Amino acid sequence: MPGFESITDQRRPTRILTAFLRKGTIPHALLFTGVEGVGKQTAARIFAMACNCLEDGPGQPPADSGKTGLPDNHKISEPCGICRSCRKILSNSHPDVIQIKPSGYNIRISQIRDLCGILTLKPYEAKIRVVIISDAQAMNIAAGNALLKILEEPPDRTILILTATEKTDLISTVSSRCQNIKFNPVSRKKIAQMLFESKGIDPVDADIFASMSNGSLSGAFNISSSKLLRKRDWLISELESLSLKDTGRCLAFAERLSKDKDDFLGSLETIKIWYRDMAVFKHYPEKIIFIDLSDKMQTSYQKHSEQSLISKFEEIRMARQAIRANVNLRLTAETLVLKLVQG
């Protein structure tokens, strides 16, 4: 920060947002979609800063400026980052930039009702009040319907920015009332380059982490450690050595997997990549992600037919779905492991 140039590999989304600012007419509700860690939150914060930057002088929108129109003299498409308004937004202390995040795994109706109460009041000091609802897919039906009332009658001088993974993750009545801006996964090459330049990670390992991140820059930085590679090696070694003949070992492995929900989801991603690599190794060995395990894969991929790999992908998908639906983790892990080791 402070400007849109700080967001990596998102030229199209930032161009759209800059155009809104230059024209001075902004939709009352925006929906930023894309995988986690590609810059949606950063873009929302920068956009709020640009809407309220005091570089062109303080002042409020004229009475006839329209519900989300910026003042006539507002020509800023990039925030200055140093004015009083920008500094407040950067420090999360601006009273008119409101952030709503999931409470636990959900955004509750009480959070949206509280927001409704706040929005009945005029902004304290902002030219444009900005409400950022992060992970909007976490809204339950009741919360979504409560938000719908706000979208149908948008408050004066207020913009809502929702972030989500996919547009279809939201109820259609909510998503249809927002202008969707799609954020793309960050390129594998760019992520690997940034890991090498900023953390000094070995280029081979940086490329592995970049591939495992699914285009998430923050995700790549979070997983880029030798500890994760050791865990990956342990997961793959266990999977390849397990057999239905040794049910005890299978259940013990499942127990290890199921101790933590987020860790379980991360393990599933690693396992999926391993099977994905085996599926492509025969025809496109140069495209595997775990390039450092190519020797091991040379012997392992022959044990699995293409049909069995497809079945394993489906089992992993169902396990991930069950975890997110809060199904018993231990039971989910045991079912998955027994299915995966069937061959």
Could you tell me which residues come within 8 angstroms of residue 321 by beta carbon, excluding any fewer than 6 positions away? none
The torsion region of residue 66 among left (phi > 0), alpha (psi -120 to 50) and beta comes to left
The total number of residues shown for the chain amounts to: 343
Q: Where are the domains of the chain?
A: 4-182, 225-340
Model confidence band, residue 63 (pLDDT cutoffs 50, 70, 90): very low
Question: 186-209: string of b/e by CB count within 10 Å (b at 16+)?
Answer: bebeebbebbbeeeebeeebbbbb
Among 246, 244, 199, which residue's Cα sits nearest to residue 221?
A: 199
Over residues 67-86, mean pLDDT? 75
CATH number at 4-182: 3.40.50.300
pTM: 0.76
pLDDT, residue 296, reads 86
Confidence band for 209, pLDDT divided at 50, 70 and 90: confident
Residue pair 253/339 in contact (Cβ under 8 Å)? The answer is: no
Instruction: Give residue for tokens 């925006």.
Output: 30
pLDDT at 24: 83
The highest-level CATH class for domain 225-340 is: mainly alpha
Segment 115-134 mean pLDDT: 93
* Residue 170: band (very low, low, confident or very high) from pLDDT cuts 50, 70, 90: very high
Q: Enumerate the β-bridge partners of residue 97.
A: 130
Q: What is the pLDDT of residues 268-326, one digit of tens each?
A: 989 999 999 998 888 888 888 888 888 888 888 888 888 889 999 999 999 998 988 88
Structure tokens at 148: 């719908």
pLDDT confidence of residue 164: 94
Say if CB 113 and CB 145 are below 8 A apart.
Answer: no
The pLDDT of residue 57 is above 60: no
- What integer pLDDT is reported at residue 73 of this predicted model? 55
**Cα torsion 260, 261, 262, 267: sign:** positive
